[in-house]
Structure 1
Amino acid sequence: MTDFLDPVLTFIAENPSLAGLICFLAAMGEALFIIGLFVPTTVVLVGAGTLVGLGKLDPVPLFIWTTLGATAGDAISYWIGWRFKDKIKTMWPLNKYAHLVEAGEQFFQKHGGKSVFIGRFVPGVKSVVPGIAGMAGMNFTRFSVVNVTSAFAWTIVHIAPGIIAGSALGAIGQISGRLALVLGALLFVVFLIVMLGRWLILIVLPLFPNTHAAIVRGFARREDRVSQWIARNFDPAHPRSTGMLASALLLLITMPLFFWIVGEVAPGEPMVRADLAILNLFDSLRTPVGDKIMVFMTSLGDGVVVTAVTVAVAAYLFGRKAWRRGTGFIIAMAGTALFVPLFKLMLHRSRPIELYAGADAYSFPSGHATLTAVLFGICAVLIAHDLNRWAKASIFTIAASFVITIGFSRVYLGAHWMSDVLAGLLFGTAMVSAFAFVFGPIHNEKIGRATVAGIVVATLAVFGGWHISSTFDKALLTYEPRSNTEVLTASGWRQSGWQSLPARRIELNGDREEPLVIQYSGSLEHFAHTAEKAGWQLPPKWSLTTAGGFVEGKTPSDSLPILPRSQNGRQPDLVLIRKDTDEAGGRWVLRLWPSRYEILEGGSLQALYLGSVVHEDILRPMGEFSGPRTDVHVPDPADNPALLLPGAQTRQRADGIKVVLATGPEAQVQTGGADKLNRTGR
């Protein structure tokens, strides 16, 4: 994967002025009046800072460009406010965000001229404060001084975290590039969730300002008790109506999704194949350092830690005489703790590895993901109660990140399938939504938000620390990578065993793709050398030059790098191409993937590889691009290079697809990845 990023990083490193221009436009865009709501500046600047930390960009020009962009954006917003004054409030689409303009006016009235500096760091008002300053007639010279100094500080705040993250990932990458990839992917997912939530709150919801009130009025006109209750509790004037509405919608979404996943984990469904492919992918990314980090996180979700936090929070709620919330909390946790093992026993889905006995021996849903989602989700509801939306967003982001990381650790360590964790998170979210819906409107039970947060953190630190210190070494052994290799005798494989191997390539989403027409046991070096005699060669490696061939209309087929394809989560160990002499611009592509099988022959074990041979037609739309498109998924026997190997045999499946069985000349003791020759062009 890092090899695919290298061309991008190289391009940025070789074109620093372009990177500076992008940062300039992003910083300016976020500062523009209202438009800044739509510009993902944080993503761009943190990403640029990460490249600085990785040594791909010079920080000084990047800092200058970003500061200039932020300064220019505020200056333009100031001019818009000075030019149009109060007309702004009636102009489309600005009139859809009148509440932000009003918030900016209140902010400016409260803080005066220094609001230009402070407002740049306050979500929700930073895109309107400069315009409000212009509307209020703030002196331009004074505004410019504050503008430049605030842009300077703002740039540091946005780029510095990326530099730190890039430096950390670079250091981790020196230990293990795979670990850096896993951590980077996890951070990206969490960051994406936060950004989508931000856009939903600031951009999408204001576009439908009257929908909420119209629905409530419709219920109010009905005389039955249910409609009247809905009208009272979901009235926009009700201080907690928005939260209740959000909880109800989340509940209506998550529960159907949970039961949809239940139906998708039946044997033979695509999600089952996707689970196996994802498990294999994570297995290939595991490292000793990554194992320690993930064991640490998964231990924080163990039953003893969850129980300790539950008891501590419940004791505090009852101690403060918050009887209804305390009772609801206990019901939610106890109900979830009862639901998980009962559902495991009902579904009887096996785990990827053997871990526990009894109901916990089964996999669906993940108890770690479900219970931590309910526990820390309800704690987040209690802590965020009656706070402003940005405080709520921050609290729920922290809780969600913690729970998602624990769920991620279960898949990484092979303790659960991905669908187990997704189902657990969905059910847990539904329980939290139900709790927030029922107990959110309660206002006469006073609890200390900071106290609840302190109890949760302290209990995690004390009991979690004690639990990890006493069980960490044992947990590392429990979750250590396990080989699932299956050995076949050479004679048994040739006679009937070949039929038990996968017939088609399985994508990460579980879809079955092109047939696997080669089963080869032996040295990849020997296979490549034999195929070379028939015109098969290594594909070009990915680089800035070869990647540029896709945008040129006359690039020969043998000069284009190969697009990645995985088989059951594994990357190919050998990729070869052969130019098609019968068709202008086409090529044949062979891929060999490692399997979990080994062949026993002559007292030695040989790794068994599964392969496909497909034909790619090179499309050239408008004569300006070169794009490979697979047009033949099953080759004629003459086009299968495995037949070139001495002793190769052809077998035919029930669907008519012919499979070539071949072996190398020597018997070597090999494991699944021991014979990799780095022949994928990466």
Structure 2
Amino acid sequence: MTELLDHVLTFIAENPGLAGLICFLAAMGEALFIIGLFVPTTVVLVGAGTLVGLGKLDPVPLFIWTTLGATAGDAISYWIGYRFKDKIKSMWPLNKYSHMIESGEKFFQRHGGKSVFFGRFVPGVKSVVPGIAGMAGMNFTRFSIVNVTSAFAWTIAHMGPGIIAGSALSAIGQISGRLAFVLGALLLIIFLIVMLGRWLILIILPLFPNAHAAIISWVAKHPDRVSQWIARNFDPKHPRSAGMLASALLLLITMPAFFWVVGQVAPGEPMVRADLSILNFFDSLRTPVGDKIMVFFTTLGDGVVVTAVTLAVAVYLFVRKAWRRGIGFIIAMAGTAMFVPLFKLLLHRSRPIELYAGADAYSFPSGHATLTAVLFGICAVLIAHDLNRWLKATVFTVIATLVITIGFSRVYLGAHWMSDVLAGLLFGTAMVSAFAFVFGPIHNEKIGRSTLAGLVFATLVVFGGWHIHASFDHALLTYQPRSDTEVLTASGWRESEWQSLPARRIELNGDQEEPLVIQFAGSLSSFATTAEKDGWLRPPKWSLTTAGGFVEGETPPDSLPILPRSQNGRQPDLVLIHKDPDEERGGRWVLRLWPSRYQILEGGVLQPLYLGSVVHEDILRPMGEFSGPRTDRYTPPASENPALLIPGAQQKTRPDGIGVVLSFGKERADPADKSAAGAQGQ
């Protein structure tokens, strides 16, 4: 998989003009009047900067393109303001964001011409200030000078972090490509979740102010007490009605989602298979450095740290005489602390590894994910209370990053299944939403947001640092990778135990795909050598040249690289292809062998056991301009299973009629087989 990503980066690097054009359009889009709110410039520019840091792109042309785009965007916004003046405020959909235009006007009045420079860096006004300058009739020459200089500084500020991140990932990649991939995946998950949350707060909600009023007006027509209470508290004129409405909606989404996950972890459900696949996937990516990073974050979610922060926040709230919020905070944390072990005892779901005793020995839901989500989520609600949207988004971004990283560390270290962490985050979010709904309207309890934020940070640093120092080495031993290898005797495997092995390939999402028609124990190199005599060859490696074959209409089947497929989270260690001469349009058979957790013992020698599939791919050629493989047959004829080429192979048949070939390589497995074979086929 990392090899595929590398080829994607190579493609972009070899097309710098395309990358420059994308950066130009993104930078221009963000500077356009109001429209800039919807353009994910940060995604593009930080990503481009990361590619520069990785050595995939030349920074000079990219920097020029980005600066020109930012300059052009502000110039267009200036022209829009100069051309339409105050009419802008009544034009749809700009009238939905009148509050931002008003903020931009105040910013421009306060800072004058300097606002064009500084406004580019200020969330909430950067997409409107150039237009306001045009509306105010600012001299175009003066505007242009400030526009160009600010675009130059803005480009440095946006691409710089990406360049630093790319350089760091490049350095990490020199140590371990797997570690770089893990950290990159974590950053991507955090980034996507945070961006979705920010767009919801800053962009989506302002689009529906009239819908809010219409709903409340309809509810107010009902005379019952509940309807009247809803109408009073959710009235758009109420300063905190929007927050309460968002909390209620989030609660109505996350709590049912939690119970849906509960229903999906029953034995035999796809999510259970997906959990195992994801666990195996992360297990294959673990490195000593990655373990240390994830142990650091998982330790911050340990009970002693959570308890210390909880007590500090509770004491502070009571000292400030915020009685209702303090009591609500204690109820939320105590209720969650009781709920987690009770639910663990109710479900009795085993952990991936043995860690604790008692109720904590069970897995669902993750206590780390649940408690940290509730604790830091409520802290975010208290700190962000009555702040503007941009500051609220910033506070929740920081908190979400910490909570998601702690949850991610539990899956990486094998302490929990993915569904455990997902359920914990959902339940935790529901509790935070309930707290915000009940205690959000309170306005007569002053708690000191900055002081509370400093207290939470200081407590986390002091107690978290002390706990990490005291328990880090022990935690590394506790979470060290553990082998689940199972040894089968050759005779037992051949007689009956082959039937207990997986019958079908399992995707990362838990779906069962094509049958596994090969069980091979032995040396992969010997298998490949024997199969080669019958026309089975290694497929071409992924490169810019071979990938280009997909956009050509006459590419032979044996010249197309193989699309990746995982089995239970593992990548294949050997991939072979065989051209099908019987197909008029051309096709190929594809053999994949994945490692399993089993070893076969025969004659005092242990051989790794591989599970394999053989599928047929038809090469589609729409309009004669493309070549795309499509799997159209999932098993070969029983007599043509390539595993039969191995001397002593045995044919077996499952109850569903699918044939399986058991074969045993006599040579001792070569340790180099895995790396050599795996490099060519993934």
- TM-score, normalising length from structure 2? 0.98
Distance 1:25 1:579 in 2: 44
- Contact residue 607 and residue 670 of structure 1 kept, 8 A: no
- Contact residue 601 and residue 667 of structure 1 kept, 8 A: no
Partner of residue 559, structure 1: 559
Partner of residue 227, structure 1: 227
- Contact residue 85 and residue 135 of structure 1 kept, 8 A: yes
TM-superposed deviation, 1:323: 1.0
Partner of residue 97, structure 2: 97
- Contact residue 523 and residue 675 of structure 1 kept, 8 A: no
TM-superposed deviation, 1:567: 0.1
- Contact residue 202 and residue 389 of structure 2 kept, 8 A: no
SS of residue matched to 2:365: coil
Distance 1:534 1:356 in 2: 53
Distance 2:670 2:607 in 1: 6
Partner of residue 474, structure 1: 474
Amino acid at match of 1:252: L
Distance 2:429 2:575 in 1: 44
Task: String of CA shifts for 1:540-596, please: whole Å, max 9, x gaps.
Answer: 100001111111111111110000000000000000000000003110000000000
Amino acid at match of 1:639: E
Task: String of CA shifts for 1:315-350, please: whole Å, max 9, x gaps.
Answer: 111111111111111111111000000000010000
TM-superposed deviation, 1:670: 6.6
Distance 2:548 2:465 in 1: 52
Partner of residue 294, structure 1: 294
Partner of residue 79, structure 1: 79
TM-superposed deviation, 1:94: 2.6
TM-superposed deviation, 1:679: 5.1
Distance 1:295 1:197 in 2: 27
Partner of residue 529, structure 2: 529
- Contact residue 573 and residue 681 of structure 2 kept, 8 A: no
Amino acid at match of 1:194: V
TM-superposed deviation, 1:674: 5.2
Amino acid at match of 2:437: F
Partner of residue 217, structure 2: 217
* Aligned counterparts, 1:10-159, within 5 A: 10-159=10-159
- Contact residue 234 and residue 241 of structure 2 kept, 8 A: yes
TM-superposed deviation, 1:675: 6.7
Worse overlay, 478-487 or 454-463 = 454-463
Amino acid at match of 1:263: G
RMSD: 1.4
* Aligned counterparts, 1:574-653, within 5 A: 574-584=574-584, 585-653=586-654
SS of residue matched to 1:356: coil
SS of residue matched to 2:541: coil
TM-superposed deviation, 1:638: 3.0
Distance 1:356 1:468 in 2: 18
Distance 2:263 2:38 in 1: 38
Partner of residue 508, structure 1: 508
Partner of residue 667, structure 2: 666
Partner of residue 430, structure 1: 430
Amino acid at match of 1:644: L
TM-superposed deviation, 1:230: 0.8
TM-superposed deviation, 1:677: 2.4
Distance 2:541 2:674 in 1: 22
Distance 2:202 2:339 in 1: 37
- Contact residue 6 and residue 543 of structure 1 kept, 8 A: no
* Aligned counterparts, 1:231-630, within 5 A: 231-584=231-584, 585-630=586-631
Distance 1:96 1:339 in 2: 43
Amino acid at match of 1:318: F
Partner of residue 5, structure 1: 5
Distance 2:16 2:331 in 1: 57
Amino acid at match of 2:347: L
SS of residue matched to 1:666: coil
- Contact residue 572 and residue 678 of structure 2 kept, 8 A: no
Identify unmatched segments of 5+ residues in structure 2: none
Amino acid at match of 1:472: F
Alignment CA distance shift 1:456-1:18 (3 Å): same
TM-superposed deviation, 1:643: 0.5
Task: String of CA shifts for 1:19-62, please: whole Å, max 9, x gaps.
Answer: 22221111111111222122111111101111111111222221
Distance 1:125 1:511 in 2: 47
Alignment CA distance shift 1:679-1:403 (3 Å): closer
SS of residue matched to 2:607: strand
Distance 1:501 1:302 in 2: 37
SS of residue matched to 1:678: helix
- Contact residue 487 and residue 601 of structure 2 kept, 8 A: yes
Distance 1:95 1:432 in 2: 33
Amino acid at match of 2:587: G
Distance 1:38 1:211 in 2: 21
- Contact residue 63 and residue 155 of structure 2 kept, 8 A: yes
Partner of residue 170, structure 2: 170
SS of residue matched to 1:598: strand
Worse overlay, 377-386 or 220-229 = 220-229
Alignment CA distance shift 1:189-1:271 (3 Å): same
Percent identity (aligned): 83
- Contact residue 202 and residue 390 of structure 2 kept, 8 A: no
Count of equivalent residues:
681
Distance 2:343 2:442 in 1: 32
Distance 1:129 1:667 in 2: 71
TM-superposed deviation, 1:141: 0.8
- Contact residue 524 and residue 669 of structure 2 kept, 8 A: no
Distance 1:137 1:51 in 2: 40
- TM-score, normalising length from structure 1? 0.98
- Contact residue 108 and residue 129 of structure 1 kept, 8 A: yes
SS of residue matched to 1:618: strand
Task: String of CA shifts for 1:73-101, please: whole Å, max 9, x gaps.
Answer: 11111112112222323333333333332
Worse overlay, 77-86 or 143-152 = 77-86
Amino acid at match of 1:101: I
TM-superposed deviation, 1:669: 8.2
SS of residue matched to 2:105: helix
Identify unmatched segments of 5+ residues in structure 1: none
- Contact residue 650 and residue 663 of structure 2 kept, 8 A: yes
Amino acid at match of 1:54: L
Amino acid at match of 1:662: S
Worse overlay, 449-458 or 13-22 = 13-22
Amino acid at match of 1:494: R
Distance 1:296 1:398 in 2: 17
TM-superposed deviation, 1:676: 5.2
SS of residue matched to 1:210: helix
SS of residue matched to 1:326: helix
Distance 1:396 1:204 in 2: 17
SS of residue matched to 1:442: coil
Alignment CA distance shift 1:576-1:165 (3 Å): same
Amino acid at match of 1:631: D
Worse overlay, 267-276 or 34-43 = 34-43
Distance 1:468 1:198 in 2: 32
- Contact residue 606 and residue 670 of structure 1 kept, 8 A: no
Alignment CA distance shift 1:620-1:591 (3 Å): same
Worse overlay, 662-671 or 29-38 = 662-671
- Contact residue 45 and residue 162 of structure 1 kept, 8 A: yes
SS of residue matched to 1:456: helix
Distance 2:443 2:100 in 1: 28
